[in-house]
């Protein structure tokens, strides 16, 4: 068994089109070095465009500092691309003969410990393994476009694939923020594409029979069940449709319709020129006013919005992102020398892409967010944080005064300090400062009076001396510090 944390973070991407480019972006933004092989003369430009889209969307999903972006290189042979790689992702066109040729070249140079994943939408791993030098190294790792935003990845092994390597692959995919769906048994087109194809086939009939246009079909998804599917899938949604009487009631009610049948799923319309042209014309009328690049950006922003809102609810794909955030560096720092006669530096981080407003600067509530995190860190330092809350006590904010001095730009390195102006067992009067790390520029300050509260009665009470011991050590150390010039100001004071 290979320990995933000991693997080099080097990925080789063979085929850098829509999907290979998306893979490259996901690995790079997760801190992996990526080497791409694609013989197309425009391969570098294609990848640059995909990477630009990924950089402008994926980082907005993180609420923690992402790893430093990995290095991107291009190789002129498959052999050069895959040497030293821990992960090789094959994303060449969907033709078995091309995939076989490429896999043979990969296996002639790649370390035997590496994962060889194929993005294939339809082929089974046993088909990819035919005549391979080491079939045990090959599996399907089927992503969804855009790979840099969507977490789902179908992992399909054949009986010949090394089970331990499949486990390594699953762990690596989790470490780059993905959600592996381990497909139990290989079948053509795995799970999701089987499902999508059946929906697509039905849509083709609706267009061919003149029942609905491409736009009407999309409306039926995006204003209705698409929103349900995005967060509860098919069966959980139907469970709710059954109401209190549940899933069995739902199936008894609607199941017989499958026999009529309502749909044409058993039959496939011929994709003749007439149907192809009809669809293309309707689609042009629906979306032709946007370039593909515009639509891609619109899609990415929409996905970020939906994924972020699922994140706030720690639900579905949002929960996957929250788990990934936990693996990223945290800005809060609570191991400081409490007896130093200097403001405590308790927060070191960056202005995250998700914190930027329409001006391109850190938006106002994120200043409050940083100070709030700094307060959490202070409570940890004085041992009055979560455990203390369980005893029924906490500090409540009674009064604040914020001042904003300068703007902070995206990715700028910033830090926050706290100075205790005064503390007794009931009151805690503090002064936070936020600085730019590069030039010490003062960005903002926040003066706060907290009161020590018994949460059951909701009343201000004195903390007992033992609980407040660490706080008093810091308060004593800060007692001789110069009072901040702007402490005690009121709004509008000159
Ligand atoms: N497009 C999707 O939505 C999607 C989703 C999931 C999986 N897939 C799968 O991903 C794979 C790639 O699909 P795509 O949509 O990115 O196709 P694409 O046409 O955009 O990209 C394929 C790339 O492979 C390159 N290529 C061709 N021959 C090559 C070779 N011998 N060595 C290296 N590169 C070579 C091409 O120059 C091209 O850039 C397919 O197996 C497809 O089934 C596609």
184-231 tens-digit pLDDT: 999 999 999 999 999 999 999 999 999 999 999 999 998 888 988 988
Whether 47 lines ligand 1, by a CB cut-off of 6 Å, is no
> Whose Cα sits closest to atom 37 in ligand 1?
40
Atom of ligand 1 nearest to the CA of 99: 31
Mark whether 223 and 161 lie in a shared domain.
no
Ligand 1 centroid – CA 270 distance (Å): 26
* Residue 98, in any domain of the structure: yes
pLDDT tens-digit series, residues 157-192:
999 999 999 999 999 999 999 999 999 999 999 999
- The pLDDT, as a whole number, for residue 5 is 60
- 290 or 265, which is more confident? 290
Structural domain includes residue 333: no
Does residue 277 lie within any of the structural domains?
Answer: yes
Q: Which of 16, 92, 148 to mutate to test the pocket of ligand 1 (most atoms within 8 A of CB)?
A: 92
Residues 233, 161 within the same domain: no
Q: Evaluate whether residue 303 is within a structural domain.
A: no
Q: Is the pLDDT of residue 2 over 60?
A: no
Shared domain check, 242 and 215: yes
Does residue 231 sit in the same domain as residue 140?
A: no
Q: CA-to-CA distance for 290 and 256, rounded, in angstroms? A: 43
Confidence grade of residue 4 (pLDDT, cut at 50, 70, 90): low
CA of 46, closest atom in ligand 1: 39
Do 383 and 458 lie in one domain? The reply is yes
Does one domain contain both 156 and 200? no
Number of Cβ atoms within 10 Å of the Cβ of 482: 7
> 486: Cβ below 6 Å to ligand 1?
no
Ligand 1 touching residue 107 (CB < 6 A): no
Instruction: Tell me the CA–centroid distance for residue 228 and ligand 1, in Å.
Output: 31
The alpha carbon of 343 and the centre of ligand 1 are apart by a number of angstroms equal to 55
Indicate which CATH number applies to the domain containing 263: 1.10.1040.10
pLDDT tens by residue, 379-428: 999 999 989 999 999 999 999 999 999 999 999 999 999 999 999 999 99
Ligand 1 mutation target, pool 14, 18, 192, most atoms within 8 A of CB: 18
**Residue 185 · residue 97 · CB < 8 Å:** no
Same domain flag for 349 and 461: yes
Q: Is residue 319 part of a domain?
A: no
Q: Which domain-ending residue is among 223, 254, 289?
A: 289
What pLDDT, in 10s, does the model give residues 101-146? 999 999 999 999 999 999 999 999 999 999 999 999 999 999 999 9
Q: Are 165 and 234 in a shared domain? A: no
CATH at 28? 3.40.50.720
349 Cβ inside 6 Å of ligand 1: no
The reply to whether 173 falls in a domain is: yes
Q: Are residues 468 and 401 in the same domain?
A: yes
Does residue 143 line the site of ligand 1, with CB under 6 A?
yes
- Ligand 1 neighbour 129 (Cβ under 6 A): no
ω into residue 146 within 30 of 0, thus cis? Answer: yes
Dihedral sign (CA 289, 292, 293, 296): positive
Q: Ligand 1 in contact with 87 (CB < 6 A)?
A: no
| Residue 121 belongs to some domain of the structure | yes
CATH number at residue 471: 3.10.129.10
Do 126 and 216 lie in a common domain? Answer: no
Is pLDDT larger for residue 85 or for residue 272? 85
Asked whether residue 330 carries a pLDDT value surpassing 90, the answer given is no
37 within ligand 1 shell (Cβ under 6 A):
yes
- The number of domains in the chain is 3
Distance, in Å, from the CA atom of 82 to the CA atom of 100, rounded to the nearest integer, reads: 16
Q: Is the dihedral of CA 293, 295, 301, 307 positive or negative?
A: negative
> Measured from the CB, is residue 214 less than 6 Å from ligand 1?
no
Q: Is the pLDDT of residue 353 over 80?
A: yes
Q: Indicate the burial class of 293 (C-beta count within 10 angstroms; 0-12, 13-18, 19 or more).
A: exposed
Q: How far is CA 366 from CA 59, 324, 372, 414, 446, in A?
A: 16, 21, 9, 12, 13
Separation of 361 CA from ligand 1 center, angstroms? 38
Q: 126 lies in a domain?
A: yes
Using an 8 Å Cβ cutoff, are 208 and 277 in contact?
A: no
Compute the distance between CA of residue 449 and CA of residue 369 in angstroms, rounded to an integer: 17
How far is ligand 1, taken at its centre, from the CA of residue 425, in Å? 66
Q: Which of 190, 224, 258 is the last residue of a domain?
A: 190
* Residue of the CA atom closest to atom 25 of ligand 1: 15
Q: What is the pLDDT of residue 170?
A: 98
Q: Are both 182 and 92 inside the same structural domain?
A: yes
Q: How far apart are the first and last CA of the chain?
A: 67
The reply to whether 440 and 352 lie within a common domain is yes
* Ligand 1 contacts CB of residue 121 (under 6 A): yes
Q: Whose CA is nearest to atom 11 of ligand 1?
A: 91
Going from the Cα of 6 to the center of ligand 1, the distance in angstroms, rounded, reads 30
Domain that holds residue 254: 193-289
Q: What is the pLDDT of residue 259?
A: 75
Q: Facing residues of 393 across strands?
A: 454
State CA 403 to chain mean position distance: 33
Residue nearest ligand 1's atom 21 by CA? 17
Instruction: Over range 319-342, report the average pLDDT.
Output: 83
CA-nearest residue for atom 34, ligand 1, is 15
37-59, pLDDT tens digit by residue? 999 999 999 999 999 999 999 99
Report the pLDDT value the prediction gives residue 1, as an integer from 0 to 100.
Answer: 43
Between these two residues, 51 and 240, which has the higher pLDDT value? Answer: 51
The model's pTM is 0.84
Residue bearing the CA closest to ligand 1, atom 20: 17
- Please count the other Cβ atoms lying within 10 Å of the Cβ belonging to residue 486: 15
Is the CB–ligand 1 distance for residue 30 below 6 Å?
no
17 lines ligand 1 (CB under 6 A): yes
Last residue of a domain, one of 171, 190, 209: 190
> What kind and span of H or E run contains 93?
none
């Amino acid at each position: 068994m290979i320990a995933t944390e000991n693997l080099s973070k080097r990925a080789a991407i063979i085929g850098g089109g829509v999907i290979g480019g998306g893979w490259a972006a996901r690995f790079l933004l997760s801190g992996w070095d990526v080497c791409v092989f694609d013989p197309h003369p425009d391969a570098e430009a294609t990848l640059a465009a995909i990477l630009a889209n990924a950089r402008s969307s994926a980082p907005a999903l993180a609420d923690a500092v992402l790893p430093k972006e990995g290095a991107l290189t291009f190789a002129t042979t498959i052999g050069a691309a895959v040497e030293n790689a821990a992960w090789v992702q094959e994303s060449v066109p969907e033709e078995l003969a091309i995939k076989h040729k490429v896999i043979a070249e990969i296996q002639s140079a790649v370390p035997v410990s590496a994962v060889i994943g194929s993005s294939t939408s339809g082929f089974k791993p046993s088909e990819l393994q035919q005549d391979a030098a080491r079939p045990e190294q090959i599996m399907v790792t089927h992503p969804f476009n855009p790979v840099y935003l969507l977490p789902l990845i179908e992992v399909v092994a054949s009986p010949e694939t090394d089970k331990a390597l499949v486990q390594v692959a699953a762990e690596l995919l989790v470490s780059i923020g993905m959600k592996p769906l381990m497909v139990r048994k290989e079948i053509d087109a795995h799970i999701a594409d089987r499902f999508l194809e059946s929906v697509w086939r039905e849509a083709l009939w609706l267009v061919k029979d003149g029942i609905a246009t491409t736009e009407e079909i999309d409306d039926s998804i995006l204003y209705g069940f698409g929103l349900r599917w995005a967060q509860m899938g098919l069966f959980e949604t139907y469970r709710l449709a059954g109401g209190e009487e549940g899933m069995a009631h739902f199936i008894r009610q609607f199941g017989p319709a499958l026999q009529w049948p309502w749909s044409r799923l058993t039959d496939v319309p011929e994709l003749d020129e007439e149907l192809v042209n009809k669809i293309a014309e309707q689609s042009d009328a629906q979306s032709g006013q946007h370039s593909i690049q515009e639509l891609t950006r619109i899609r990415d922003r929409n996905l970020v919005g939906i994924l972020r809102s699922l994140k706030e609810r720690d639900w579905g794909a949002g929960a996957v992102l929250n788990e990934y955030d936990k693996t990223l560096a945290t800005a809060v720092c609570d191991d400081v020398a409490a007896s130093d006669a200097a403001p405590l530096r308790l927060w070191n981080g960056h202005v995250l892409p998700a914190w930027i407003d329409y001006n391109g600067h850190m938006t106002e509530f994120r200043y409050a967010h940083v100070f709030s995190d700094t307060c959490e860190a202070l409570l940890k330092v004085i041992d009055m944080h979560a455990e203390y809350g369980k005893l029924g006590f906490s500090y409540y904010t009674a009064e604040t005064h914020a001042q904003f001095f300068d703007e902070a730009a995206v990715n700028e390195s910033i830090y926050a300090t706290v100075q205790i102006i005064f503390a007794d067992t009931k009151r805690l009067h503090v002064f936070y400062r936020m600085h730019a790390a590069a030039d010490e520029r003062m960005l903002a300050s926040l003066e706060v009076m907290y009161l020590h509260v018994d949460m059951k009665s909701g009343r201000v009470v004195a903390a007992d001396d033992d609980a407040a011991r660490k706080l008093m050590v810091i308060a004593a150390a800060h007692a001789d510090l110069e009072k901040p010039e702007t402490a005690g100001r009121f709004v509008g004071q000159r």
